[in-house]
Amino acid sequence: MVHGFRTGIAFDGGYAEYVRVSSSHLMTLPQGLDALEAAVIGVPGFTAAMALDRFIQAGLMPASGPVAISGASGAVGMLATAILSRAGWQVTALTRKPDQGEALRALGASDVMDASMANGPARALEKACFAAAIDNVGGPTLAWLLRSVKEGGAVASVGNAAGNTFDGSVLPLLMRGIQHFGVVANAPWPVRERIWARLASDWRPVFDQVMPHVRMIKLEALQEHAANQLNGLTSGRTLVVF
């Protein structure tokens, strides 16, 4: 498999049935995952696992408290919910799609919250509810999560669905010692190999729970799917099949 290394950006090959890539970019499938399972996890699941790896490096553990996941009905959010719950964490899923609540609980979420609450009046600090958070959204949601994380907690920014900016404050950093970091799914080889090994073992999502949220489409349906995605009409993970 191959991901990162500017594949699809500096190097052609996105959605190709056959692709030629540098051998230095290739990784053998880890034992414990087949090709379809690795594709389902893909960059979204690897991104979530990188955030989890950073939480552990920061000294956080399941006993530290729940982890909030914003944009929970998207590919990263759903896989993050499945992976973190599999790893023993209590997950609070934030979504603007209330009809996804049952599905998110089936993936392992202990609680589901209406994400619109993040747009309410901003306080200097919110009630400290979460040990950590994975944010797919940015904007007001990111600011609210930073204000809502416990002392010594961490927030991983992995997406910007609501925009590239947010109206934040240094108070969560100063008063609670929050760590805020970004995740780019193009890790060095030692990190890449360590995380994929865990995704194939103790962080391996329960695929029977994940697969109902994986949609298979043909290449000719890709343009329509991309338009629907931009308009917020999709959820879960989509794979192009030949």
**Residue 158 contacts residue 186 (beta carbons within 8 Å):** no
Domain 42-241 has CATH 3.40.50.720: yes
pLDDT digits (tens, 9 = 90+) for 138-150: 999 999 999 999 9
Q: Which residue, among 74, 83, 82, 71, has the nearest Cα to 107 in the 3D structure?
A: 82
pLDDT for 213 equals 93
pLDDT for 224 equals 96
Q: How far apart are alpha carbons 39 and 18 in whole angstroms? A: 15
For 239, phi then psi, to 5°, come to -120, 140
Q: How far apart are alpha carbons 8 and 13 in whole angstroms? A: 6
pLDDT for 75 equals 92
pLDDT for 9 equals 84
Burial bucket for residue 133 (CB in 10 Å: 0-12, 13-18, 19+): buried
pLDDT for 162 equals 80
pLDDT digits (tens, 9 = 90+) for 175-231: 999 999 999 888 999 999 999 999 999 999 999 999 999 999 999 999 999 999 888
pLDDT for 176 equals 96
pLDDT for 188 equals 93
Q: What is the 3-state secondary structure (H, E, C) of 190-213?
A: HHHHHHHHHHCCCCCCCHHHHHHH
pLDDT digits (tens, 9 = 90+) for 212-223: 999 999 999 999
Q: How far apart are alpha carbons 14 and 214 in whole angstroms? A: 19
Domain boundaries, the chain: 42-241
pLDDT class for 153, splitting at 50, 70, 90?
very high
- Pick the more confident residue, 162 or 188: 188
pLDDT of 127 higher than 90: yes
**Residue 180 contacts residue 173 (beta carbons within 8 Å):** yes
- The arithmetic mean of pLDDT across residues 28-50, rounded, is 96
pLDDT class for 13, splitting at 50, 70, 90?
confident
**Residue 145 contacts residue 113 (beta carbons within 8 Å):** no
- Tell me the pTM: 0.93
pLDDT of 151 higher than 90: yes
Q: How far apart are alpha carbons 41 and 233 in whole angstroms? A: 21
pLDDT digits (tens, 9 = 90+) for 63-121: 999 999 999 999 999 999 999 999 999 999 999 888 889 999 999 999 999 988 888 77
